Amino acid sequence: MKKRVLLGMSGGVDSSVSALLLKKAGYEVIGATMRLWEDEERPEVEGGCCSFSAVYDAKRVCDKIGIPHYTIDCRAEFKKRVIDDFITCYKCARTPNPCIECNKYLKFDVFYQKALELKCEYISTGHYARVEFSEKYNSYLLKKSLATKKDQTYFLYSINKEILPKLIFPLNNFKEKSEIRKIAEENGLAVAKKPDSQEVCFIPENNYVVFLENNMNEKMNEGNIVLKDGTVLGKHKGLIYYTIGQRKGIGVSYKEPLYVLKLDKEKNEVVVGTEKELYSNYLYAEELNFLLDIDISSPIDVKAKIRYRAKEADAKLIKVSDKQVKVEFVEPQRAITPGQSVVFYIDDIVLGGGKII
């Protein structure tokens, strides 16, 4: 009897080829697209992972390869877990990563529960990552993709480790995106040349400021732009308009270039300074999630990644409490940003991660 798998389909080439590979591997594949977000004034985000065109493209692929397709309405949960969290973080002067929240609560939680309802033994997505059983650790591990430039494990650290044995990443052995597109083209999939989505699905034109202006239920108040010593240089128009590491558009003059160092919610201040002051050799993180059971009661050496596009850096992971860790870097890191996630690696294994505070 074929093992049944529920595959999350975004309408893109990665999940489409994943469907094809799963079917060829002998699984009974059910394709499903999560309906997450709709903007009544602008319902289409071209290439977005939850637009009407995404559903249409996913259905076309499923028809082509001969598997069923379902649409799962998750709009209420998405608003609560992702959109509301996004807005709340900015209100608190933090910079969120909505894709991480979506993976945690929607794509690897709600979706898994739907798989159980459909009597599926596995769930699958087109993410670039690997799940393997380790004899050394006697457990399933999340590991980095062989396609190092496409590796997406940074976005997956927050999922429940209990579902790792039930996860299949069909693209786990590919090293280049061109290989995926070639398979799609050879098999006549209409999405073979479809561009990758580059936007947050609910942020039109990737303009988060306009989204916040239209959806926050409170007015942004002006405040001071200050140096670290408290010297006032000018006025800011609201904290949501500034980002850690920002140089352009600060709106004050100084004897050398200035960068945003900190957004102080309590004082309603934008703290600025030189580029040298952007660097720090430590951070604290909470809201922790570990995918590997390993003793961290004593400091351990890890590679730490402070944002998706950042390079992994040598660091020590130090337990502060059951809910908080400190990360000390060998080399200072630029623009460490509260609200973003830090992810810890041991070789190619994802140890876990947490939210920077």
Catalytically active residues are: 102, 201
Q: What is the spatial distance between Cα 179 and Cα 324, in angstroms, rounded to a whole number?
A: 41
- 14 to 99, 108, 274: CA distances (angstroms): 17, 17, 42
Report the alpha-carbon angle 346-351-354, nearest 5.
Answer: 125
Q: Which residue has the tokens 């959109």?
A: 83
* Distant-in-sequence, close-in-space partners of 148: CB < 8 Å, separation ≥ 6: 175
Q: What is the spatial distance between Cα 296 and Cα 301, in angstroms, rounded to a whole number?
A: 10
Q: Residue 28: how many CB atoms within 10 A of its CB?
A: 15
Q: Residue 333: how many CB atoms within 10 A of its CB?
A: 23
Helix (H, G, I), strand (E, B) or coil at 99: helix
Q: What is the spatial distance between Cα 33 and Cα 73, in angstroms, rounded to a whole number?
A: 9
Q: What is the spatial distance between Cα 158 and Cα 169, in angstroms, rounded to a whole number?
A: 17
Instruction: Check residue 220 and report its DSSP letter.
Output: P
Q: Which stretch of DSSP H or E encloses residue 180?
A: helix 177-186
